[in-house]
Amino acid sequence: MIKKNSWVQITKTILKPEERAVNLPEPTKKVPMMMWVKGFLLEAGELNSLVKIRTLTGRIESGLLVCENPSYMHTYGEFVPELLEIDRICKTTLFGGDFYE
């Protein structure tokens, strides 16, 4: 159970596939349009249950409770060694082939 007033993220279907705009590419046409939004939980609720939140601008939105204290987990990703080869190409072109010696 997640407590009332907790900072949470919810998700909701905005448009079902049949309600979507016409002329969409096939892969988009067959999936719903979804929304994710964050706010303070108005009443205590379970994960994946339908809840209401108050957003930062004071709006009320409802949807399925995704998580409490949604975090920023994006990173620089797994190292891409090709970047070192780019460094070698531009440095040896500019400073000469013996730059790394």
Partner 1 sequence: MNNSYEAVMARKNQIMKSSVGINYDKYEGDYLNFDFEEMMSDCGFSLREVRQIQNQFGVGNTPLKECKNITDLARKVSKPGYGARIFIKDEALNDSGSFKARRASMACYQAKKLGFKGVIAATSGNYGAAVASQAAKHGLKCIIVQECFDSNGIGQPEIIEKARACEAYGAEVVQLSVGPELFYKFLLLLEETKYFNASLYTPYGVMGIESLGAELVEDCLKQNGKVPDMVVCTNAGGGNLTGTARGILKTTKEKIQIVGASVNLKGLHMANDIDFNKKSFTTGHTGFGIPFMINPDRSDVPRSAGRPLRYIDRYVTVNQGEVFFMTETLAVLEGIERGPAGNTSLAAAFSLAKELKQDQIIIVQETEYTSAGKHHQAQLAFARKNGINIYFGNPEDEIPGKSIVFPKTVDLIQAKDLDLDVIRKKYIRGQLLKTNKLTKKDIEFLIIETNTNTDYILSEIKKHNVELEE
User: Which residues make up the interface to partner 1 (CB under 8 A)?
Assistant: 11, 14-15, 19-21, 24-25, 27-28, 31-39, 55-59, 72, 74-80, 82-83, 85-87, 89-91, 93-94
Toward partner 1, which CB reaches closer, 35 or 44?
35
Toward partner 1, which CB reaches closer, 1 or 72?
72
Which tokens belong to 50?
């339908």
Q: Is 51 exposed, middle or buried (0-12, 13-18, 19+ CB in 10 A)?
A: buried
> CA end-to-end span of the chain, whole Å?
62
Toward partner 1, which CB reaches closer, 1 or 96?
96
Cβ at position 50, least distance to partner 1 in Å:
18
Place of tokens 């979804």: 34
Toward partner 1, which CB reaches closer, 31 or 50?
31
Cβ at position 24, least distance to partner 1 in Å:
6
Cβ at position 68, least distance to partner 1 in Å:
16
Residue 34 region, left (φ>0) first, then alpha (ψ -120 to 50), else beta?
A: beta
Which tokens belong to 94?
């500019």
